[in-house]
Amino acid sequence: MSAIIPSQARMSAFLVKMRAIMEQTQAKRIVPVNRIILGITGGIAAYKAAELLRLLMKQGMEVQVAMTEAASHFITPTTMQGLSGKPVLTSQWDDAGNGMAHINSSRAADAIIIAPATADFIAKLAHGLADDLLSALCLARHCPLLVAPAMNREMWQNAATQRNIAQLLADGVRVLGPACGVQACGEEGMGRMLEAEQLAQDIAAFFQPKLFSGKQILITAGPTYEAIDAVRGITNRSSGKMGYAVAQAALEQGAEVTLVSGPTALAKPQGAQVVDVTSAAQMFEAVKQRAADCDIFIGVAAVADYRIAQPGTQKIKKSTETLTLELVPNPDILAYVAALPNPPFCVGFAAESENLAKYAEQKRCVKNVPLLVGNLAQQAIGSDDNELVLFDDSGNRVLPRADKLTLARLLMQHIAQLYEGADQ
């Protein structure tokens, strides 16, 4: 538990070196580019489409905007052209090419996303109408269609809309939302379009390759809490964000995920089986019960290295005497799993404050795991962004600074490659 405080100069030199490697890696784009048609129909939520466009482009997607005539009453094509850097498709009739804009554009897309999708447009999709460019694009598509409904709560609840939504689902259309909340009309209920950030995340999740279909992945996350007495304890500043992001990425890539989580304030990843624990001993028990049944084990948790030998059952009273606490080592959960007779593919994490490469490689050898993910504690703990260095038999690879979910998705793709290689 003792922290080593590195000298300022050594730390700066290390960070400069790390940054140079990361910038080189950044030049090679890692995130695949997906070609999207963002269709906007005429609802007040159209203003959120500008932010959605920005977020999709930030994720490396190539976005072509198409708008209905009604949409242009809520947000202008000029705004969307300015943001996307491309002329917006608005009409079937001003195509300068072969007059087949609906065919050409839909063939060039990996997916069409309608956000917002009005009740009227959803009805058109359900019935296969094609009386404007956007509906014709949808009818002529080869690619998946995702819709984000946005409408008044009565319109959403109306039997006709519910019939149309059921039809879209039966046709294989992905429906994102809607959410519940205050509506532009002042009423409150179901029908609000999901926020741009949520939509961007759902769309990115949709594109994740399903690399782990049928695989069981066991993940530990968060800090542990070691009781000193009835009210006090020893813990660390791990937020659990990286472990939860890894669980989310594994789910998106098709895995069945069990997340053994220390105390965190985070929302549970939907679809994961979550086992809440407090101490390292409880985390160890939870992992021991499940390790033999998993294909892959990823230890992201910041497990306390020591626990109090004899925690008090009551609150220790203050006195003028020096208080000495006896600490005993906790079991190493990752090393235990890696040493099982028929171990799952094991991945460890190392948060270091200096000498990342040296310490991470040492941990990989000592714990005998094929992949160890290194990060700098001072950059990683509690923050939304991180930088990772992956250490495996073939050397190291840097995943440059990004939000933790983006990094987790790339990490899972790397794990899939190693796991496939190890399986053969």
Binding site for ligand C5P (CB under 6 A): 220, 280, 299, 301, 303, 305, 330, 332-334, 348-350, 363
- Which residues are marked as active site? 185
User: Closest CB to ligand C5P among 296 and 333?
Assistant: 333
Listed in sequence order, the DSSP H helices in 28-152 are 47-58, 77-84, 101-107, 119-127, 133-139
CB 392 to ligand C5P: min, Å? 14
Between CA 232 and CA 234, with CA 233 as vertex, the angle to 5 degrees is: 150
Structure-token pair, residue 333: 């959960």
CB 302 to ligand C5P: min, Å? 7
Q: What are phi and psi of 141, to 5 degrees?
A: -75, 155
| 233-234 vs 226-227, strand pairing mode | antiparallel
Instruction: Please give the full DSSP string across 225-283, using - where no structure is assigned.
Output: -EESSSS-EE-----SHHHHHHHHHHHHTT-EEEEEE-S--PPPPTT-EEEE--SHHHH
User: Closest CB to ligand C5P among 299 and 400?
Assistant: 299
User: Closest CB to ligand C5P among 125 and 338?
Assistant: 338
User: Closest CB to ligand C5P among 64 and 386?
Assistant: 386
CB 349 to ligand C5P: min, Å? 4
User: Closest CB to ligand C5P among 192 and 363?
Assistant: 363
CB 347 to ligand C5P: min, Å? 8
8 Å CB contact between 407 and 388:
yes
Distances from the Cα of 412 to the Cα of 34, 87, 120, 241, angstroms: 19, 36, 40, 15
